[in-house]
Amino acid sequence: MGIINRTNDSFFAGNRHADLDSAKRALDDAVTAGADIVDIGGVRAGQQGETVEAQEEIDRVIPFVAHARTAYPDLVLSLDTWRSEVAAEAGHHGLDLVNDTWAGHDAELVHVAARIGAGVVCSHTGGLPPRTDPVKVTYGPDPLDVVRDVLRTLADGAQQARVAGIPADRILIDPTLDFGKTTAHSLEVLRHTADVAQLGFPILQALSRKDFVGESLGLEADDRLEGTLASTAIAAWLGASVFRAHDVRATRRVVDMVAVIRGDRMPLRPVRGT
């Protein structure tokens, strides 16, 4: 899942595409590098970004969704939004997936996804509202309490999606590392990816250049690629199947290699020693 942010304040400077032509070039690059899905965002997730009202978000993302659908008819198009009105507008242009990063804050969003025939990503934010950075977050004295909360929230979100009319095979679950979590929380949840997989839905892991990587290694966003790829390999081995990535080519290669090691994919050129 390649990321294309129609913003000028994304936390990672390498993925700021407020200019439409820049976003179009980024789309071409992502597809060439191996993206199966493109996730389009119009608002920075953190509270440090600029204020973006619903109409401004629509103005940022809809022309690009329309272009992407025309340019790549078979590409899966995802929209990173918590606003039902934005998703509804994107539904007129063939949106495939609503990436609800803020865990059902807008209760109508899942119903809009069902109405437009899109899938949905169910997330976990620890109950925080959109664009809230975590401060003094706790889940209980046991380190596994955060894992239990993630499992419960994702199961509830998936059930709400089913009730809204979204088929099970169009529901993804995202443990949503960093959101509503300390670095210790994110690492604990990542270690328990296999437990999340037991919920029975495809797992989306949004690991790319996140703060838990930066705080683990003492690095700023521009230098977090290797830590991201290590996290990606672990998550893939433990059962995650969709990876939201700024660095599509590198992530694609890591995921494909893990699949070969697991035996889920054949080597492309197995000629050595034959």
> Per the domain annotation, does 133 fall within a domain?
yes
Q: Is residue 172 part of a domain?
A: yes
3-state secondary structure the chain: CEEEECCCCCCCHHHCCCCHHHHHHHHHHHHHHCCCEEEEECCCCCCCCCCCCHHHHHHHHHHHHHHHHHHCCCCEEEEECCCHHHHHHHHHHCCCEEECCCCCCCCCHHHHHHHHCCEEEEECCCCCCCCCCCCCCCCCCCCCHHHHHHHHHHHHHHHHHHHHCCCHHHEEEECCCCCCCCHHHHHHHHHCHHHHHCCCCCEEECCCCCHHHHHHHCCCHHHCHHHHHHHHHHHHHHCCCEECECCHHHHHHHHHHHHHHHCCCCCCCCCCCC
In the chain, how many domains are there? 1
pLDDT at 46 over 90: no
- Say if residues 41 and 61 touch (Cβ distance below 8 Å): yes
**Average pLDDT, whole number, for the chain?**
97
Averaged pLDDT for residues 111-125 = 98
Q: Does residue 96 form part of some domain?
A: yes
Q: Could you tell me if residue 267 is inside a domain?
A: no
18 pLDDT band (50/70/90 cuts)? very high
Stretch 105-109: mean pLDDT, rounded?
98
Handedness of CA 243, 77, 82, 158 (dihedral sign): negative
Over residues 163-189, the pLDDT tens digits come to 999 999 999 999 999 999 999 999 999
pLDDT of residue 151: 98
Confidence of residue 243 (pLDDT cuts 50, 70, 90): very high
**Which pLDDT belongs to residue 48?**
85
Does residue 47 carry a pLDDT above 90? Answer: no
**Residue in this structure with the two tokens 């199947």, named with its chain if needed:** 241
CATH of the domain at 20: 3.20.20.20
The residue type of 98 is V
* Percent above pLDDT 90 for the chain: 99
Range(s) of the domain holding residue 237: 2-262
249 — pLDDT class (breaks 50, 70, 90) = very high
Give the pLDDT score at 49: 84
Q: Is residue 272 part of a domain?
A: no
Query: CA 167 to CA 138: how far, in whole Å?
Result: 33
Task: Give the pTM.
Answer: 0.96
